[in-house]
Amino acid sequence: MDTAMLVEPEKQRKRLLSDLLQEAGLRVQSFDTAEEAVDQVERVAPDLMILEMKMPSRSGLEVLEQLRGYGMPVILITANETVALKHDLYSVGDVVPGPIANKDLRTRIRGILKRRSRTPRAQRWASHPVASHVLPELHDPVTGRLDAGRIAEFLGTPLTAFARFSGIGVAALHKSPASASLQQVLIPIARSLTILSQLLGSKESIRAWMNSPHPDLGGRTPIGVVLEGKSKAVSDMLEAALAGQPS
């Protein structure tokens, strides 16, 4: 049975999260403080960590820094999405803004575990955390942020097409394709590509899927939906499919 490490100081939220994790078939090891989590992570060797970003003594950011060498997937709980964008938390794990939506969290947990099950257990802790969530080649190597230019190239789409829904002009997009203001719109696209890379393998197969009409999208192509600014519809469909739920 896979193990989840839950780091949450608030008792009511801890009970809620613990119940959700157990419903997903996970053994739960819960901790009230960041210090306990850091001290016990090697003993627990979790398959998944749920981490509250705001804690009394040490912030979730400090915990992430100390656990940088471990490869477990992380779901970050935060009440402030602006802070998540500022610190590029979406490049580290799945970010769930409060209040928590049970259905969304269940889908993310199942999707993460399904992806993780494809990696031999012996290799899991040797990988970088980013690789468990988003394809490293989609990131700017200097800032670590998602890069619109790299994502556009991966999709075989002109970068200028992203200007339609990103709220950034073409010139600014070319100048700063990995700007902090772009991260929120790039996250669901990157999540979709990560799932598709697990399912289909090659870039060519992913492009073919993205350009094929899909019945669950009303006969539209996934790439067309993405370029309409509705990329979350595609990522939600893929997460649900990966978690074994009807789309």
| Minimum mean pLDDT range among 4-18, 33-47, 108-122, 226-240 | 108-122
Residue 230 lies in a domain: yes
pLDDT at 87: 57
Give the residue from 73, 108, 130 where a domain finishes. 130
Whether residues 100 and 181 share a domain: the answer is no
Res 125 pLDDT > 50: no
Look at residue 50 in the predicted model and tell me its pLDDT: 86
Q: Give domain status of residue 168, yes or no.
A: yes
Residues 78 and 51 in one domain: yes
Average pLDDT over residues 93-114: 71
pLDDT score of 110 more than 80: no
State how far the alpha carbon of 220 is from the alpha carbons of 200, 226, 228, 234, 236, in Å: 20, 10, 11, 11, 16
Both 111 and 145 in one domain: the answer is no
Q: What is the pLDDT of residue 126?
A: 36
Residues 89 and 151 in one domain: no
* Listed range (9-13, 88-92, 170-174) with the worst mean pLDDT: 88-92
Q: For residue 149, what are the domain limits?
A: 136-242
Tell me what pLDDT residue 124 has. Answer: 41
pLDDT > 90? residue 221? yes
User: Does 110 lie in the same domain as 156?
Assistant: no
Which DSSP string do the residues of 176-219 spell out, in sequence order?
Answer: -TT-GGGHHHHHHHHHHHHHHHHHH-SHHHHHHHHTS--GGGTT
Last-in-domain residue among 130, 154, 179: 130
| CATH number of the structural domain spanning residue 57 | 3.40.50.2300
C-alpha of 133 from chain center: 5
Alpha-carbon distance of 169 to 36, in angstroms, equals 46
Domain identity same for 30 and 59: yes
> Does one domain contain both 150 and 90?
no
- The whole-number average pLDDT for the span 32-41 is 82
Are both 151 and 230 inside the same structural domain?
Answer: yes
- For a pLDDT cut of 90, what percent of the chain falls above it? 13
The pLDDT, as a whole number, for residue 95 is 73
Alpha carbons within 13 angstroms on the beta-carbon side of residue 236 total 12
Q: Tell me, yes or no, whether 178 and 200 share the same domain.
A: yes
Predicted confidence (pLDDT) per residue in 9-32, tens digit: 888 888 888 888 888 888 899 888
Residue 21 resides in a domain: yes
Q: Higher confidence at residue 3 or residue 116?
A: 3
Same-domain status, 125 and 143: no
Residues 7 and 126 in one domain: yes
On whether residue 229 sits in a domain, the answer given is yes
CB 57 within 8 A of CB 96: no
Residue 46 forms part of a structural domain: yes
Q: Does 247 fall in a domain? A: no
Give the length of the chain: 247
Question: Which of 130, 159, 194 represents a domain boundary (last residue)?
Answer: 130
More confident residue, 240 or 202: 202
Domains in the chain, number: 2
Helix (H) or strand (E) holding 231: helix 231-242
Shared domain check, 151 and 80 = no
Separation of alpha carbons 181 and 168, rounded Å: 9
Question: H helices then E strands: how many in the chain?
Answer: 13, 5
39 domain-assigned: yes
